[in-house]
Structure 1
Amino acid sequence: MEIWKSSRWPARHAVRRALVFNPYLPPEVGAKIVPLLNSTDLAELASDSSVPPSLREQATRLLTQGPIGG
C-alpha cells in the first residue's frame, strides 16, 4: 500500500505490474492499476488465477473493449 501511495513508484511500469500481480494487494487498489497496464499485461492478468476474480474480469473487459474512442 505504501508503494502505491508514493508519488515516485507508481509511475514505473514494472512497479505497477508487480503490484497488480501481487495476490495480497487489496482488490480496490488493484482496480485502479489495471487500466494503466498494457495489453500484454492485461492478457496475462486475465488468465492469472492467483489474482482476485474482479481484477481478471476487469482485465478481460479492457482487452475486449480495445482502446478508448476506438
Structure 2
Amino acid sequence: MFTRRQVKRLLQRVPGQRRFGVYRFLPFFFALGGVMEWFMIRVRVGQETFYDVYRRKQSERQYQRRLEEES
C-alpha cells in the first residue's frame, strides 16, 4: 500500500501546479467519468447492462403508478 509521502510525491509530479492548482486533475476525472459511462453502456454483467436494468426499473415504477392511479 502507498504511504502518505508516496502519494504526495506522486501528486506533485502531475504538471501544471503553478498555473492550474487543484484544477490540473480535472482532465483525469473527466476521462475517468467517460470510461465509467462507456463501461455502464457497453459491458454486460450476466445478461444485462446498467442501462437495461435502469430502463426496466423505470418502466416497473411507471406501471405501479398507473395501477395506483386507477384504483
TM beyond 0.5? no
Query: Which structure shows the bigger proportion of residues in helix conformation?
Result: 2
TM-score (norm 2): 0.22
- Compare CA radii of gyration and give the structure with the larger one: 2
